[in-house]
Amino acid sequence: MERIRPWFYDQFQCIAHLCDDTCCAGWEIYIDDASLANYRGDGSEFGLYRQSKIIERADGATFALGENKRCPFLNAQNLCTMILEDGASSLCHICTHHPRFYKEYGHYDEQGIGLCCPEGSRLLLSAPLRFQRHQVDGDTPLDPMAETIFSLRGLLQEILLDRELPFTDRCLEGMELAQQAQSQLYGDGAPQGEVLATKEIFWQVLLKEMMALEPIDQGWQTYLEAMEAQLPRLLAREGDFCNSDAYDPDQYGDIAAYILYRHFPDALWDGEIVARFTFAVRSTLFIHLCYVSAWLEQGALTQEDKAMHLKNWSKQVEYSDENTQQFLQSCKENPVLLGPCR
């Protein structure tokens, strides 16, 4: 098998109490069966305390979240008491592996760091994106369709990472290739875009689609409404942003190529080549809008700010299966999202 990882996979390390958006709050943490059995069999003082914080539900066992949905083992210093008391090996599967993700497609064994983690987003933005490949045990023959989808993703990533081209041209070229490929592989009917929507309409439509998703919290909805209200100002000042030091189109290529890395191979199951490419580039455009808005608001935009906006998109969109599916559907059906703009 061939294992593929982004360059920063091995460099990732959780920054624990230094993290400004800990993943140990805000989510249900489901406990895998093996860990649950170990926790149930631990009669030590800490083991009994841990058992008292487990809730058994029809859909699985979870830790009983405290105030602000904090994990009951997250102490006041934002350190994990389970690690402090019992060592990292006592963590359940999710806590051990998050924010890493793993996907296997026959011959391909893919791994990455989720952008919902501020440190993962920071690493992605810290250097040009490249992937490492090496052979690992467990040879599985290549399925011809999988080979086609993976080569296509490679070509689309090459286009998105082509630092010689403006980012909008990379998107247009990639879209053309995605449409040709979908028509060739799955017959006629690849989604087509509306010709030349104005940028104003384009941004309005993109924001509306984002606002239609289930918000992760009230703050997100308020944030989008404020951005919508200042859209004319964002449009008027985008050019200034693009002439400032804060603008780095090559980072957009890296972001889009990394989103494609994680989400494109599922075209093997649903055949949505165009929608999955559109998902990557329109998500990147949304992140650009967030950058323009923050730059105008603050008068500057640091790498740290950029990583925070990237992380927020990831939490809101790709870390919700429902929102991912809904935005993919929009990327399949909305002719404005599918088309070029001027």
Instruction: Return residues touching ligand SF4 (CB under 6 A).
Output: 14-16, 19, 22-23, 99, 117-119
The torsion angles phi and psi of 63, rounded to 5 degrees, stand at -85, 140
3 state SS of 67: helix
Give min distance, CB of 54 to ligand SF4, in A: 21
CB of 95 to ligand SF4, least distance (A): 9
- CA separation for the pair 273, 287 (Å, rounded): 22
Q: Name residue 5's amino acid.
A: R
Question: Which one, 119 or 209, has the nearer CB to ligand SF4?
Answer: 119
Q: Closer to ligand SF4 at the Cβ: 10 or 333?
A: 10
Nearer to ligand SF4, 117 or 292 (CB): 117
Shortest distance in whole angstroms from residue 93 CB to ligand SF4? 14
- Nearest distance, CB of residue 317 and ligand SF4, angstroms: 17
CA 336 from centre of chain? 22
Does an H or E element contain 271, and which?
none
Q: How far is the CB of 141 from ligand SF4 (least distance, A)?
A: 36
SS3 per residue for 99-149: CEEEEEECCEEEEEECCCCHHHHHHHHHCCCCEEEEECCCCCCCCHHHHHH
Nearest by Cα to 328 from 290, 277, 285, 254: 277
What is the spatial distance between Cα 194 and Cα 335, in angstroms, rounded to a whole number?
5
Rounded to a whole number of angstroms, the minimum distance from the CB of residue 246 to ligand SF4 is 24
Q: Closer to ligand SF4 by CB, 117 or 341: give it.
A: 117
Q: Closer CB to ligand SF4, residue 276 or residue 315?
A: 315
The full length of the chain comes to: 342
* Neighbouring C-alpha atoms within 13 Å toward the C-beta of 68: 9
For residue 250, the one-letter residue type is: D
* 6 vs 99, beta carbon nearer ligand SF4: 99
